[in-house]
Structure 1
């Protein structure tokens, strides 16, 4: 897979659980020990994948910070929250003494909206609510003004109100610090107001990459279309949600050809043996849009799933190659 994100910009990576979103970004920071890795990950001209453990430790936290999905398991339960933030600051800036690091931790907690930060700095993680723990993780991520923040589903375990507050906070702080942000989520609705570009992943690989408006208004890949139709209200206020049938594939036993073909209502004969690559989707004028690519054998027209695609779907249904029949066949084959 290939993607890029500039300072001050946000890349959203979306897909169902098990699509490879977290693993792809954790690999950048050397957090997938024992995995077979190839390719390169360039950060300011240096290949992160070729760095030693010592070199990566200097990059993690200071240059690239990560906000994990579950802050309770990310924060050490036996150490005060402020101490953990201060420890990270001193680890990368040895000239900062304990008093200075504590003062900075108080400032950071106040910056992310923790009430009475000069007192809460001495609390333990279990004394914080879920939203406050996530705010503390954001404070820790921002403590050294990193150039890139990777947020791995930071709002999944939070209720809707707190989720909105956390997203607003991240967007505000990103603009204030001019930080590049990679937002990982399974919910396209989360990044609707946050991302500049969106990368859709399925089966461990990208299937569509586009600027946000292009992806929302001109989706090309059937999987992207399915994710969008799964958002409440996307198909009409009184209509039922339209889920994607079937289950995501095992990453160690992927289907042949296009990994999505067992669940796709537009499946064609060539989808089974041949794996499509990311290629440009045509813009409204009929010219290839290099900023919008899709890994699908459907016609790459600006209208997304065009009339040709609908004809293909109807033919597939008539031939018994689509919908529930395909899913049942795939299950029996396993």
Structure 2
């Protein structure tokens, strides 16, 4: 059994405009010591899905199953979840300045977190542990910086402090929700290297949520691509970059300068806008923006089916239409011209 197994997770919210279907059926698993990258545009359901696992989406209607070491996170009481959050599963959020309390010293916050879950640990021992953690994540003079306030840290140092806090109780799983988005490229690379090194050292599983495929290239073992609240492609990192199948994944790759599209560094954006999650399109949610749309795409919603060993794609294009090269392009265009789908082939 995997460390975490999520099956058919659905999350929706009632609003004055209607029901927002934020996550519309998400299934994935992750093993200890592995990294799962979850990518997609803003509003695709990446953050909501993982926050729901941690009980951080009050008021949401939730269904499905999320087994963490055999225990269903979605059916736990708030008290049971509090015993899981921190010691077993930790989270690193996008903005550390809003995650750290501005009126308390950074070291004090780490100490309080440790003692909240391990009340038998003395304040002196918890402080010693906080200093060790700050040094471990590369903060200079940790014995002095432990008494600084969050505003006295730079953005990169605050994120390092959040990583230290996440590691304080040696969790089995860390969920990192776009932890490097607000950082410049040099600091971002340092943080990613740090997370990779610490993950290997502690054998911790990591879920990395991001819209940056460059981050995924550095860290992930497996990748889940989300669009309009649903997974549209799920495979290992190398297959996504070199043998992607879903047109949305291919569009993301082509939008990277000098990326896998091989187009001389030109940005090739995906036309159109993501759909409303209050009234998503019929059939395939991506069909209004897809260059290979066929009649069946507008009517029938494609399941996440296997197009290669360990490679799932929610698209009606033929299974052998893999990759970004001219041969795959020709297969896709031929299928569109003939109105041929995998089901109707």
TM-score, normalised on structure 1?
Answer: 0.90
- Distance in 2 (alpha carbons) for counterparts of 1:202 and 1:310: 22
SS in 2 for 1:241: coil
1:50 to 62, 75, 83: 75
Deviation at 1:306, TM superposition (A): 5.1
2:298 to 268, 272, 296: 272
- Distance in 2 (alpha carbons) for counterparts of 1:231 and 1:175: 28
Paired residues, number: 309
Provide the residue aligned with 1:192 in structure 2. Answer: 217
Matched, 1:308 2:331: yes
Matched, 1:164 2:189: yes
Provide the residue aligned with 1:123 in structure 2. Answer: 148
1:218-233 → structure 2 map (5 Å cutoff) = 218-233=243-258
Residues 81-103 of structure 1, C-alpha deviations (whole Å, 9 max, x = no match): 00001111001101101111111
1:88-99 → structure 2 map (5 Å cutoff) = 88-99=113-124
Deviation at 1:231, TM superposition (A): 1.2
- Distance in 1 (alpha carbons) for counterparts of 2:144 and 2:120: 25
Residues 269-288 of structure 1, C-alpha deviations (whole Å, 9 max, x = no match): 01111110100013xxxxxx
CA contact (8 A) 1:13 1:183 kept: yes
Q: Closer, same or farther in 2 for the Cα pair 1:180/1:239, shift >3 Å?
A: closer
Gaps of 5+ in 2: 1-25, 340-345
Gaps of 5+ in 1: 283-288, 317-334
Provide the residue aligned with 1:285 in structure 2. Answer: none
Provide the residue aligned with 1:7 in structure 2. Answer: 32
Deviation at 1:115, TM superposition (A): 0.6
Deviation at 1:232, TM superposition (A): 1.4
Provide the residue aligned with 1:72 in structure 2. Answer: 97
CA contact (8 A) 2:245 2:313 kept: yes
Deviation at 1:314, TM superposition (A): 6.0
- Distance in 2 (alpha carbons) for counterparts of 1:67 and 1:199: 19
SS in 2 for 1:191: helix
- Distance in 1 (alpha carbons) for counterparts of 2:334 and 2:190: 44
SS in 1 for 2:129: helix
- Distance in 2 (alpha carbons) for counterparts of 1:303 and 1:202: 19
TM-score, normalised on structure 2?
Answer: 0.87
1:254 to 256, 280, 293: 280
Q: Closer, same or farther in 2 for the Cα pair 1:315/1:158, shift >3 Å?
A: farther
Provide the residue aligned with 2:50 in structure 1. Answer: 25
Poorly superposed stretches of 4+, deviation over 6 Å: none
Deviation at 1:239, TM superposition (A): 4.1
RMSD over aligned Cα atoms = 1.3
Residues 194-229 of structure 1, C-alpha deviations (whole Å, 9 max, x = no match): 100000000001000001111111000000000111
Residues 168-210 of structure 1, C-alpha deviations (whole Å, 9 max, x = no match): 0000000000000000000111110210000000000100000
Deviation at 1:36, TM superposition (A): 0.8
- Distance in 2 (alpha carbons) for counterparts of 1:6 and 1:178: 10
2:176 to 151, 156, 162: 151
Deviation at 1:311, TM superposition (A): 2.2
Provide the residue aligned with 1:182 in structure 2. Answer: 207
Q: Closer, same or farther in 2 for the Cα pair 1:109/1:8, shift >3 Å?
A: same
Deviation at 1:58, TM superposition (A): 0.4
CA contact (8 A) 1:63 1:147 kept: yes
1:280-299 → structure 2 map (5 Å cutoff) = 280-282=306-308, 289=309, 291-299=310-318
Provide the residue aligned with 2:23 in structure 1. Answer: none
